[in-house]
């Protein structure tokens, strides 16, 4: 799995969670993960999470660390499993930095306040995940926690560590699948 931290800020509107967005914009073809910083402003008509649409809960923040993952060989169920694995890896990376993080499904919390947003979905050609962590607490429609609240300022290194851990885990799962002998009745 390929990975890239994008050094320019990108405003995430929800349109970026689409098939081949990474390939078309960054020339990375195949299973991959990218991360970037930027404002987040997802209007209800771009929301993938129907529950959030029903509850009229758009997503916004002045600055988030965004991750987009695209895979071409996963069912939606498998991608939700990968989403939960990815969230657990983020939690582990933050805990290695001495932070106490609580995970509830695909949500992360710091000091009782929501730190993340995440969704997995399926397109006609691939499955996709968008996960984002608040870098600052400003601009969100609810009270949230942020990486700056935790005193984390090297966001690029954090993103690269998270992506490397995720890619290593995906590769390890692939190798575990390939090394076993099949059983015959």
Q: What is the pLDDT of residues 62-116, one digit of tens each?
A: 999 999 999 999 999 999 999 999 999 999 999 999 999 999 999 999 999 999 9
Q: What is the structure's pLDDT at 176?
A: 95
Whether the pLDDT of residue 185 is over 80: the answer is no
Structure confidence at residue 168 (pLDDT): 97
Model confidence at 49: pLDDT above 90? no
Listed by start position, the domains of the chain span 2-178
Give the span between the Cα atoms of 176 and 166, in whole angstroms.
15
Strand order in the sheet with 32-42: 2-5, 32-42, 59-71, 127-134, 116-122
pLDDT at 44: 84
Whether the predicted pLDDT of 48 surpasses 90 = no
**pLDDT at res. 56:** 84
pTM of the full structure: 0.95
Mean pLDDT of the 152-176 span: 97
Using one digit for the tens of pLDDT, what is the confidence trace for 114-159? 999 999 999 999 999 999 999 999 888 889 999 999 999 999 999 9
Alpha-carbon distance of 163 to 129, in angstroms, equals 13
State the average pLDDT for the chain. Answer: 95
Q: pLDDT value at position 164?
A: 98
Overall average pLDDT of the 38-47 stretch:
90
Please determine, looking at this structure, whether the domain spanning 2-178 carries the CATH number 3.30.930.10. yes
């Amino acid at each position: 799995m390929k990975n890239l931290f994008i050094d320019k800020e990108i405003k995430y509107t929800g349109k970026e969670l689409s098939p081949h967005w990474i390939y078309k914009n960054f020339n990375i073809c195949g299973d991959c993960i990218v991360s970037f910083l930027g404002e987040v402003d997802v209007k209800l008509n771009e929301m993938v999470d129907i529950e959030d649409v029903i509850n009229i809960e758009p997503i916004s923040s002045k600055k988030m660390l965004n991750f987009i993952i695209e895979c071409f060989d996963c069912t939606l169920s498998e991608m939700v499993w990968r989403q939960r694995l990815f969230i657990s890896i983020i939690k582990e990376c933050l805990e290695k930095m001495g932070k106490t993080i609580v995970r509830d499904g695909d949500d992360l919390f710091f000091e009782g306040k929501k730190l993340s947003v995440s969704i997995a979905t399926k397109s006609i050609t691939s499955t996709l995940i968008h996960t984002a962590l608040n870098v600052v607490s400003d601009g969100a429609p609810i009270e949230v926690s942020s990486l700056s609240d935790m005193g984390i300022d090297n966001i690029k290194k954090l993103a690269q560590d998270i992506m490397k851990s995720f890619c290593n885990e995906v590769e390890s799962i692939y190798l575990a699948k390939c090394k076993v002998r099949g059983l015959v009745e």
